[in-house]
Amino acid sequence: MSAYEYATVPSAGDRIAGTTDQLAVPDCPIVPFIEGDGIGPDIWAATRHVVDAAVAKSYGGAREIAWMEVFAGEKAQEISGEWLPQETLEALTEFKVAIKGPLTTPVGGGIRSLNVTLRQVLDLYSCVRPVRWIPGVPSPVREPEKVDMVVFRENTEDVYAGIEWASGSEEANRVRDFLQGSMGSSIRELSGIGIKPISPFGTKRHVAAAIRYALARGRDSVTLMHKGNIMKYTEGAFRDWGYEVAAEQFADVTVPESRLWEGEEAGGRVVIKDRIADSMFQQVLLRPAEYSVVATPNLNGDYLSDACAAQVGGLGMAPGANIGDVVALFEATHGTAPKYAGLNRVNPGSLILSAGMMLEHLAWDEAARAIDRGLEGAVGARMVTYDLERQMDGATKVSTSRFGETIVAHM
Ligand code: NAP
């Protein structure tokens, strides 16, 4: 066991063992949480209340989460002088499953986004964003009930790798000279240049995680979203490697869509399909019921997950997780909304739904369903926070904490 300087390991709990695919979860698992900055403390308090109530209601005291606070962001800076203490990374690795509120990205001083750092250092290579409509939540589309997708966005590669050079810089000029001289490529003068690496290793482990998720959750398809008709060796290769890993590791339980066109039946197997990125944005609006798990490279997934979230009520109701082979970190998908900090006003829905995903990850599905029932009940009773209330007729505006209590009352 590691010694922690700032965090305290709860004496009552036990460690989760195993890997993401095969977790061994004790009845009283220690789960680290990062409260987060800005509205983080408000939404975390409501979330913790809801999760504890859902677990108590579902297991009658036989199961309980031993919460352990670990520090990042402004609170970490205050107590340790660092934005992301090394011991926080160690605790997340040791205890394997954790949840976090939003974190401020410090401006200036060369400090990288804490969220990006957490993903990279812990190798959380898949960003998982389920998108499902809760009846009653205001939506801009006519049939939001048809939206039930899980976007799996690759988290470590693509143009997000951060390999880029500014227009006119010496580096950009050298890269341009090399590409023009040795590679026969023509690049316009003063171009900014960015690199888009996509590897078979990064793609295959990510698509394999998406397929395993589909199998474990009884979902009928995994769609590979790419712009491979234009970017053949990056996004086109993503599609090819996706089909390859399905054939190599999941031959008996998956089937490529092309074989269905030839008359074969899916027969309960997960259908692997692919769609060009631009058409995918149409498809999720026009034929959302045909898509279940969608596996994407990094940039496509960033765009698609927000566009899908908008169909079911926006980021305030969109959960997410960053998951690797060892660690799974569940998080609110919105930011710290500093103007609402400490006002007990904002919607805790994103963090609460992320906590529901976390309970599913622990295979505590009964407690996850209790959260779903509670949320559906609270929205159905039209007792909602300001962001939903301003879009709903006849709704009652409630505070963050009251919304949490209303969810518990409807479990
Ligand atoms: P933001 O914090 O997400 O807030 C933008 C707007 O979204 C808010 O003004 C509010 O809209 C709405 N909103 C966000 N969360 C809400 C909630 N729980 N309930 C209801 N409405 C909510 O985005 P930002 O202002 O661009 O970013 C602020 C800080 O957050 C930055 O430091 C940024 O780096 C950080 N950030 C962190 C994360 C993360 O930790 N994962 C993600 C994104 C941004 P209205 O004004 O219309 O009410």
Between the CA of 319 and the centroid of ligand 1 the distance, in Å, is 14
Q: Which domains does the chain have, with CATH numbers?
A: 1-127+317-411 (3.40.718.10), 140-157+198-311 (3.40.718.10), 161-195 (no CATH)
pLDDT at 2: 58
316 Cβ inside 6 Å of ligand 1: yes
**Tokens (6 digits) for 178:** 């090399």
Strands 148-154 and 126-132, by their bridges, are antiparallel
* Kind plus residue range of the DSSP H or E element containing 332: strand 328-332
Three-state SS for 287?
coil
Measured by CA distance, the residue closest to atom 42 of ligand 1 is 335
Q: How confident is the model at residue 194, as a pLDDT? A: 94
Instruction: Identify the DSSP state of 392.
Output: S
pLDDT for the residue numbered 106: 73
Query: Is any ligand 1 atom within 6 A of the Cβ of residue 47?
Result: no
**pTM reported for the whole predicted model:** 0.94
The predicted pLDDT at position 161 comes to 80
Catalytic residues: 160, 227, 278, 302
Ligand 1 contact via 354 beta carbon (within 6 Å):
no
The percent of the chain in helix, strand and coil, each rounded to the nearest 5, is 45, 20, 40
Residues 37, 65 contacting (CB under 8 angstroms): no
Report which protein residue has its CA nearest ligand 1's atom 41.
102
pLDDT tens for each residue of the chain, 411 residues long = 558 999 999 999 999 999 998 999 999 999 999 999 999 999 999 999 999 999 999 999 999 999 999 999 999 999 999 999 999 999 999 999 999 999 987 776 666 788 888 998 999 999 999 999 998 888 999 999 999 999 999 999 999 888 899 999 999 999 999 999 999 999 999 999 999 999 999 999 999 999 999 999 999 999 999 999 999 999 999 999 999 999 999 999 999 999 999 999 999 999 999 999 999 999 999 999 999 999 999 999 999 999 999 999 877 788 999 999 999 999 998 999 999 999 999 999 999 999 999 999 999 999 999 999 999 999 999 999 999 999 888 999 999 999 999 999 999
pLDDT score recorded for residue 315: 74
What pLDDT, on the 0 to 100 scale, is given for residue 256? 98
Minimal-distance CA residue to ligand 1 atom 3: 335
Residue 349 to residue 354: CA distance in whole angstroms: 8
* Closest ligand 1 atom to 332 CA: 41
User: What is the 100 CA–ligand 1 centroid distance (Å)?
Assistant: 14
Cα gap 393→240, rounded to integer Å: 48
The ligand 1 atom nearest the CA atom of 331: 41
Mutate to test the pocket of ligand 1, among 137, 336, 343 (most ligand atoms within 8 A of CB): 336
Ligand 1 neighbourhood includes 115 CB (under 6 angstroms): yes
CB contact set of 141 (below 8 Å; sequence gap of 6+): 147, 285, 311
In this structure, are residues 58 and 370 in contact, taking their beta carbons and an 8 Å threshold? yes
Cα of 386 from ligand 1 centre, angstroms: 14
Residues in contact with 45: Cβ distance below 8 Å, sequence separation at least 6, in sequence order: 400, 401, 404
Which atom belonging to ligand 1 lies closest to the Cα atom of 105?
34
For residue 303, give the nearest of 159, 198, 101, 125 by alpha carbon: 159
